[in-house]
Amino acid sequence: MKNFAFTVLCFMLFNSCYQPPERNCKTFQKGTFEFETILNGELVKTTFIRNDSIEIDYFQGKTDTSSIRWINDCEYIVQKLHPNSMAEEKAIHMKILSTDKDTYTFEYALVGSAKKQKGTARKIE
């Protein structure tokens, strides 16, 4: 009986300390954002503007437009409107994992793929 009481006490202690990450996703559904990543050993930056249904990306002097379909407040599907290759035709599933004042952490993968990657975007407007 002592072991049971100790186990319950430990469970309650650890469970009360856990706080799920904040997810104020609606704040990040529209606006202008920046995303930095390492590409071929070099730090590169993408700027994108997103509204309800369109996202415009600016990367290395090129502009791409994609459609957006929101699944819920924190998940959406992005698909390029004018793909240049078969690879660009594939839709990407985006999921906001956590939010902070002006940043959000997200994971993304090709629709149907189990291989997910993570990133952080910063809202600049």
- For 15-35, how does the pLDDT look when each residue is reduced to its tens digit (9 = 90+)? 555 555 678 899 999 999 999
Q: pLDDT at residue 3 above 80?
A: no
Residue type, 31: G
Instruction: Measure the CA–CA gap between 98 and 120, rounded to whole angstroms.
Output: 9
Q: What is the pLDDT of residues 31-64, one digit of tens each?
A: 999 998 888 899 899 999 999 899 999 999 999 9
Q: With residue 103 as reference, give the H or E element that holds it.
A: strand 103-110
Residue type, position 118, single letter: K
Instruction: For the domain made up of 21-123, give the CATH fold.
Output: Lipocalin (2.40.128)
Record the pTM: 0.78
Domain ranges of the chain: 21-123
- Give CA 66 to chain center in angstroms: 16
Q: What is the pLDDT of residue 46?
A: 94
One-letter amino acid identity for 15? N
